Structure 1
Amino acid sequence: MKDMIQIQPPAERFQLKKLAISQGLPDGNIEPAANSFEPKATQPRNAEQTEKAVSGISQTSATTLVSFVTERFYLFHDGNQAVFCQEKDSGEIFPLDSRQFRDRILACFYQTAGYSLRDQFIREALGTLNGLGRFQGPCLSVSLRTAESDGIYYLDLAAQRESRAVRLRPGRWDIASFPEPMFVRPESMRPLPTPIAGGSIASLWRIVNVPANARLLVLTWLIDCLRPETPYPLLELIGEHGTAKSWTQTALRCLIDPNGCNLRGAPRSAEDIFISARASAILSYENVSHLSPAVQDALCIVATGGGFAKRKLYSNFEESVIDVKRPIILNGISASVTAQDLVDRTISIELPVIAERREAVEVWNEFTQLAPALLGALLDIAAQALNILPTVHLPPERRPRLLEYARLGMAVAQVMGGEPEDFLREFSASRQESLLRTIDESPVATAIQQLIQDRPDGVTESVKALLVLFEKYRSPGSDVWPKSPKALGDAMRRAAPALRQFGIQCKCLGKGSGGIVRWMISKGTPQPGSPRVDPELL
């Protein structure tokens, strides 16, 4: 045993002393690492020592993950300070706070390092990455499925582990790898097939139940969905049971933006709409029977571009902002769009009853096989229409509210071998139905029509006097009839745009003598750009 007591050679003790002296420690503090086999009692750590030890491990593991990510991803942020990560190899882009990104880096880290990390280390690493992307990364715009840059349109194919997009410009289109726009892909987004040029769009009408007198409207809507810089019209499919509304809507959406949930139930609130718009390139709702005024206002905001802000969770003053512009398509048995502002932006199509039914599986298989050629045919038409578009003009007196959509439709009509007037006729018929529906939905608008028929010279009265005058024209059993002068004034203000397009002026003259608000109701000329309406329909 005596021979085994000194297990540390003198040279090693000298090295320890030399190291201690270099670090400013006295020689007496250095003891041999082991001078006997007698066990020594372990000194318990206090709370501060334990915290320092754990902190050291945490910093090492978190730093390792940060280095692992920055070696494989580029970090940047958008205008709302949200951080995104672009994989260097594939070009795919992920929101830093998404489950997609977290799962991707943890799986790659485990495959590379051979071990997994504790949740605490992951949170610390993600927090550091968020700061790096927000304060050191560049500020770039992100897009969802479609984008526009310098007059060139892009359609993300969204294939996994790839970064490819259709590049559409006037006269031609091609496939671009690592396109200029930064496309983010939510988990519900599905890839598009690689389009094949030279096909025919005629095959689409064998699959979807769209009447011949509305096909230019649908085709123009599909192409307009590829132009993110213009306001979007809302496409409304109406029909009785058995008109294949849901299938038609599914096929139209899958042609340009397939999704894990192609058809969704009617939204209940404005928040539901904006959250869906954050993760979907097209808002698609089915079996809609009623839309509240607040929901219709939100749909109008999304179609033209707008934002929604809400307080962030676990914060007092910070906001979560969603700023989007999306195309919208919905269907229902009866018309659900009644708000005048949204009606002006809606393309309503009545679907016919199906004469010959086919099995759903058969139709879906045919669509899947034709999808690459159909997408290519749509892009061919879009490229030619964009080439013609600069030459398309409408005189000021014929310009409708959806002017961008109307001009594009006139170009599409020429590409399809027709005349610009062919599209304008379909467009005017659709708008006429929508405006008539707006008037039918308003008992006040109906009362104003009947008043003008009885008094062609019109009337100028106070709101209180008009409320009494309209009683004789009140629909029996109406639940929405205004009960006060203020409510009547609000109803007339909402109906005024639709009435004006049919040649009925309903105008507030403001306060007169005695502070009484007066309104003028009279015949006038139809608003420029309004559809030609058969008087028998009014």
Structure 2
Amino acid sequence: MSDDEKNPARQVITDYAQSHFRYFRTVDGTVYAQRTGHPVARPIRSQGTTGSHRQELMVGLFRDGVGVFNGTALKEALDLIEALALTERVQPTHIRVAPGFDGATWLDLGRDDGRSVRIHPTGWDVRVPDPEEVCWRRTQLTGELPLPAKDTNGKGIDLLMRLCNFADAKTEALAIAWLIGCLEPSVPVPAPFLTGPQGAGKSTGGRMLVRIIEGMTGDLRRAPKDEENMITAVAAGWITALDNLSHLPPDLSDLMCCIITGAESIKRALFTDGDVVRSRYRRPMLLTGIDVGVIRPDLAERLLTLRLERPRVRRTEAELWAEYAEILPIVLGSLLDLTVKVRAVQAETPTDLRMADFAHLCAQLDTATGFGTLEAYRASLDDLNDDVIEGDLLAQTVLKHAAELTPGVEERMTSAEWLHALTALYSGEECRPLPKGWPTTGKVLSDRLRRIQPTLAARGVLVDWGRTSAARYIELSRQAPPPPPEQQTAF
């Protein structure tokens, strides 16, 4: 038989692969493989500990009796498969939570059989999703979840709150709203900041919330030291939980803002001069700590304060987690029941809050349960605004100056004039020395005022910028306080 009549090994591998797997590419050009009828996708080039398609293909060829092939034949076959897949339609991959057809969302249970939870306003059930609808991507951070219990009558929520040490019912409602938000892939949710005195169980409470979505292997971690490591950790899981934060440097604060509301990172691809790798991310976050120091205003609008108190009775870790593992199917089932109930109701979207999607979710939760979540969310933002003001001497000085203004009357000055006026007000007659970080130029002052503008507006002080024919100016005004409820006119 001539060489042309022989069936090359690469052709045998290619035929087997195309009959047992579906190949597609993502928007960034990465090629994935899905075993026929199974929703989990593996990148064909990955050599990670979670397994690559190359390894999966080798095992399939051996177990089905096709043969054992050398590396050259596998490489040539995979090169051809990758080239063919680049001509196929684009389909995204998802970690843990994914949008589906007909307004549904999916929750990956991390099981080998691919069974997942389909959540719809009409109900939820456990099934294997159509690979054309959902493509799951799994990493070492993808833990397995138990099958959720049916017909729980909300018992799981009570069992969970009994194990956590939240300070009051309003805090519990915010925690529930955040968990529901984590099951919606298209809605950014604020990052809960679990705080309280030493020994309040902040780390334990954080783990309990995370493990409802990420499974018993989900855990808290220390904040990475640089942006690249943080983005790598965020891209490998769904919830990023940072434990025992004592301060938030500006770079980490800005990065957390990007993670919560969504951003993109681009870096050079390895072993190339001009190719790049795109990393898009928007993930739920969770933080724990007693005090993180000065909170920047842009991050404060993306946080959710959850206060805990010290428990009266202490339990061993073994007892606590054994009970938690036992009730986790009931907790997950109750959370899914409540999620369906919340998504089925209609509610108005508050127009005065930055995280409008989460505010709308809180309004839906209140309509469905009457928890008072939206009121608690507003109170949480007020507390965070107070924290911002207490940590910003410039904001305190502006508020002190605005207190002398007549409500509704604007005061205009150039940035340099404002710098002189505010500096004189802070120093006072005793010529107090200026603190570190105090603005040194009008431009720096203008930039700082833009950053704290939402915080000042929450306290009724409005800052605006404009220009006359002579120069640019900054305008400061104070809103009149609303009349008492008994004096408001009824319509």
TM-score, structure 2 length as denominator?
0.87
Provide the residue aligned with 1:535 in structure 2.
none
Give secondary structure in 1 for the equivalent of 2:462: strand
Map residues 343-382 of structure 1 onto 2, 5 A cutoff. Answer: 343-382=300-339
2:357 corresponding residue in structure 1 = 404
Aligned length: 464
Superposition map of 1:43-192 within 5 A: 60-88=8-36, 90-99=38-47, 100-101=51-52, 102-113=54-65, 116-135=68-87, 137-149=88-100, 150-160=102-112, 162-179=113-130, 180-192=133-145
Q: Equivalents in 1 of 2:433, 2:76: separation in Å?
A: 67
> What residue in structure 2 maps to residue 203 of structure 1?
159
Counterpart-to-counterpart distance in 2, 1:500 and 1:521: 11
> 1:37 — aligned with what?
none
Larger displacement relative to structure 2 (366-375 or 119-128): 119-128
Pairing 1:520–2:475 present: yes
Residue equivalent to 1:432: 382
Once residues 426 and 17 of structure 2 are traced to their aligned partners in structure 1, the CA distance between those partners, rounded to angstroms, is 71
1:450 aligns with 2:403: no
Q: Is the 8 A contact 1:164 1:177 kept in 2?
A: yes
| CA–CA distance in structure 1, aligned partners of residues 473 and 448 of structure 2 | 14
Q: Where do 4+ consecutive residues of structure 1 move more than 6 Å?
A: none
SS state of the match for residue 75, structure 2?
helix
Instruction: Output the CA distance in 2 between the equivalents of 1:207 and 1:287.
Output: 20
On the 8 A contact 1:500/1:526 being kept in 2, the answer is no
The offset of 1:344, in angstroms, is 1.3
Query: For the Cα contact (< 8 Å) 1:266–1:285, is it kept in 2?
Result: yes
Where does 1:104-503 land on structure 2 (aligned, <5 Å)?
104-113=56-65, 116-135=68-87, 137-149=88-100, 150-160=102-112, 162-179=113-130, 180-199=133-152, 200=155, 201-212=157-168, 213-258=170-215, 260=217, 262-335=219-292, 338-388=295-345, 390=346, 392-394=347-349, 396=351, 399-416=352-369, 418=370, 422-456=372-406, 459-471=411-423, 472-473=425-426, 478-503=435-460
Counterpart contact for 1:463–1:488, Cα < 8 Å: yes
Cα displacement (A) at 1:402? 2.1
How far apart in 2 are the matches of 1:307 and 1:260? 28
Q: 1:507 to 1:89 in 2, by over 3 A?
A: closer
Q: Cα distance 1:337–1:98, how it changes in 2: closer, same or farther (>3 A)?
A: farther
Alpha-carbon distance, 1:306 to partner: 2.4
CA gap 1:65/1:486 in 2 versus in 1, 3 angstroms = same
CA contact (8 A) 2:419 2:445 kept: yes
Distance 1:336 1:225, change over 3 A: farther
Deviation at 1:455, TM superposition (A): 4.5
Contact 2:405 2:478 in 1 (8 A): no
AA partner of residue 263 (structure 1) = L
* Contact 1:504–1:526 (8 Å) recurs in 2: no
Q: Which amino acid aligns with 1:502?
A: R
Q: Supply the distance in 1 between the matched residues of 2:66 and 2:348 (Cα, whole angstroms).
A: 65
- Distance in 2 separating the partners of 1:104 and 1:480: 57
Q: State how far apart, in whole Å, the 2-side matches of 1:448 and 1:181 are.
A: 52
Letter in 2 for 1:170: P
Cα offset for 1:198?
Answer: 2.2
Q: For 1:64-115, what per-residue CA distance to the aligned partner results, in whole angstroms no more than 9, with x for missing partners?
A: 4333332321111111111110012544321222231233233333444597
Q: Distance in 1 between matches of 2:301 and 2:480?
A: 19
Give the aligned residue type for 2:195.
Answer: I
What letter is aligned with 1:164?
R
**Larger of the two Rg values belongs to structure:** 1
Once superposed, what is the RMSD of the aligned Cα atoms?
2.8
Alpha-carbon distance in structure 1 between the residues aligned to 2:272 and 2:357 = 42
Q: 2:110·2:144 contact (CA, 8 Å) conserved in 1? A: yes
Cα offset for 1:458?
6.3
> Deviation of residue 117 (structure 1)?
4.4
Structure 1 residues 359-385: Cα deviation after superposition (integer angstroms, max 9, x where no partner): 111111101000001100001111111
Instruction: Say which SS state the counterpart of residue 143 (structure 1) adopts.
Output: coil
Return 370-379 or 95-104, whichever deviates more: 95-104
Residues 313, 497 of structure 1: alpha-carbon distance in 2 compared, 3 angstrom cutoff: same
Rounded to whole Å, the distance in 1 between the matches of 2:433 and 2:374 is 38
With normalisation by structure 1, the TM-score equals 0.80
* Letter in structure 2 aligned against 1:158: G
- For 2:43 and 2:196, locate their aligned partners in 1 and report how far apart those are by CA, in whole Å: 40
Amino acid at match of 1:185: R
SS state of the match for residue 85, structure 1?
strand
Structure 1 residues 355 and 310, CA, compared in 2 at 3 Å: closer, same or farther?
A: same
Q: Is residue 238–residue 335 contact of structure 1 (8 Å, CA) maintained in 2?
A: no
Work out the CA distance in 2 between the residues paired with 1:181 and 1:89.
Answer: 11
Higher relative contact order (CA 8 A, sep 6+): 2
* Greater percentage in helix: 1
How far did 1:486 drift?
Answer: 1.7
Identity of aligned residues (%): 25
Counterpart-to-counterpart distance in 2, 1:483 and 1:121: 67
> How far apart in 2 are the matches of 1:347 and 1:154?
25
Deviation at 1:239, TM superposition (A): 2.2
Instruction: Label 1:105 to 1:257 Cα distance change in 2 as closer, same or farther (>3 A).
Output: same
TM-fit CA distance, 1:500: 0.9
Question: Shift of residue 512 of structure 1?
Answer: 5.1
**Which segment drifts farther, 214-223 or 204-213?**
204-213
1:523 maps to a residue whose letter is: R
Deviation by residue 1:204-256 (Cα, 9 ceiling, x = unmatched): 01222222221111101100111111222221112232111111111101101
Aligned residue number for residue 36 of structure 1: none
Distance 1:348 1:336, change over 3 A: farther
Q: Structure 1: state its 5+ residue gaps.
A: 1-18, 24-52, 533-538
